[in-house]
Amino acid sequence: MALIENLNLWPPSNLQRNLALNSPPKLFNFKPSATHSIRKTLHTCRCSLVNEQQQQQASFTDQEKQLIDALIGIQGRGKSASPQQLNDVERAVQVLEGQDGEGDPTSSDLIEGRWQLMFTTRPGTASPIQRTFVGVDFFSVFQEVYLRTNDPRVSNIVKFSDWIGELKVEAAASIKDGKRILFQFDRAAFSFKFLPFKVPYPVPFRLLGDEAKGWLDTTYLSHSGNLRISRGNKGTTFVLQKRTDPRQKLLAAISTGTGVEEAIDEFISLSKSGAKDEPVLLEGEWQMIWSSQIETDSWLENAGNGLMGSQIVKNEQMKFLVNILPGIRFSMIGKFVKSGTKTYDVTMDDAALIGGPFGYPLEMETKINMELLYNDDKIRISKGYNNILFVHLRALDGSK
């Protein structure tokens, strides 16, 4: 983040890989007799969540929604962004920076609190700790800003998971003017859930001198206090949010691999409450990013049933496309017809292995009744083969 870009220190060896641990085992086993009360509680919680998400969705202006829309589908908080995606984000950022946000962000109470990092540019000056942690979607990255205390501070937090813990890098802060915060790193520590004490991060801050210092300009702070754009002293741009768009919440659940089906249920419930029309299957190239079934041992079966790779929808035809090896891919083409308000009958029967200009036909046929649960120009949620849930992201060039 803005402060992390100044901290040119390598994190412990292999830490990133070792911290990406599996979810903990289930701790509770509910009895059937409790089902009714549980369902009632879940229904109440879900209604509250939908109301909360509706308020969150309404808290963004049209220009802010354009920036959020540009962020959807970017992985690694910008690390894997294409030139087109970077241009879309920068254009939306510049529009907001030209808007009338909070006039003096550093003097506003809205800047106080915990902000989640959603996007950052990747200059050549990015530090090893920034390159290692910030670009990993499995981790959550936050920035805490507290300027109205006896000990003003700005802190960067890398949350590895609810079960592992976090790394917190802190800096003493001061306000220079209405936009700029000056800071100097002075302490950092790991807080692991399995240890009763903090583990100091081995950084000799006092010996770093000016390397531990920097500044952070807030170039846009929304009147709702939910979105902030900042630029650091090394030229990095940051987009941070206190509240996230429902689509961002869903993609975050997929990135961490926790509570995905619950996130899908909540997202669809919210989309239904605000939808005027039934979803329509949109043309374009769609990359599968999650399914409710683990792939089988047969890659051919996975590819033929749409459990891997991408789908291209065009002119009432659908193509499954899977890259098997460099220069070799699996292709399967079929047709679909609308069979209900949100269902489609899909017949895939033209399969082949393709290598360069050559193709080897395969005798395969797959029939799927697809139920479209949600579809916009970025995300598609559907039920397909064997009633499996799928989440697809639209590729940049949907003209294929």
Domain hosting 352: range is 280-394
Q: Are residues 120 and 232 in the same domain?
A: yes
Asked if the structure places residue 124 within a domain, the reply is yes
State the average pLDDT over residues 163-189: 95
Task: Of 38-47, 181-190, 302-311, 389-398, give the lowest mean pLDDT range.
Answer: 38-47
pLDDT value of residue 76? 84
Q: Are residues 214 and 350 in the same domain?
A: no
Q: Are residues 224 and 318 in the same domain?
A: no
Residue 213 has pLDDT above 80, yes or no: yes
Asked if the structure places residue 9 within a domain, the reply is no
Count of other CB atoms within 10 angstroms of residue 334: 18
Q: Are residues 272 and 320 in the same domain?
A: no
Residue 39 amino acid letter? R
Q: What angle do CA 212, 200, 159 make, to 5 degrees?
A: 85
pLDDT band at 5 (very low <50, low <70, confident <90, very high): low
Residue 306 has pLDDT above 90, yes or no: no
Q: Are residues 360 and 371 in the same domain?
A: yes
CATH number at residue 114: 2.40.128
Q: What angle do CA 184, 227, 154 make, to 5 degrees?
A: 15
The pair of three-digit structure tokens given for residue 90, joined into one six-digit string = 């920068």
Task: Of 10-14, 226-230, 283-287, 358-362, give the lowest mean pLDDT range.
Answer: 10-14
Asked if the structure places residue 48 within a domain, the reply is no
Residues 327-346 have pLDDT tens digits of: 999 999 999 999 999 999 99
- Mark which of 244, 262, 290 sits at the end of a domain: 244
Asked if the structure places residue 348 within a domain, the reply is yes
Asked if the structure places residue 98 within a domain, the reply is yes
What span, in angstroms and rounded, lies between the C-alpha atoms of 266 and 273?
Answer: 11
Q: Are residues 221 and 259 in the same domain?
A: no
Total of domains in the chain? 3
Q: Are residues 168 and 124 in the same domain?
A: yes
- The answer to whether the Cα torsion of 293, 296, 301, 307 is positive or negative is positive
What span, in angstroms and rounded, lies between the C-alpha atoms of 185 and 357?
Answer: 58
Q: Are residues 136 and 69 in the same domain?
A: yes
- Mark which of 225, 244, 263 sits at the end of a domain: 244
Element (H, E) at 27: none
Distant-in-sequence, close-in-space partners of 194: CB < 8 Å, separation ≥ 6: 165
Asked if the structure places residue 37 within a domain, the reply is no
Asked if the structure places residue 16 within a domain, the reply is no
Q: Are residues 271 and 289 in the same domain?
A: no
The pair of three-digit structure tokens given for residue 342, joined into one six-digit string = 């949100």
What span, in angstroms and rounded, lies between the C-alpha atoms of 369 and 345?
Answer: 5
Residue 201: what are its φ and ψ, rounded to 5°? -80, 125
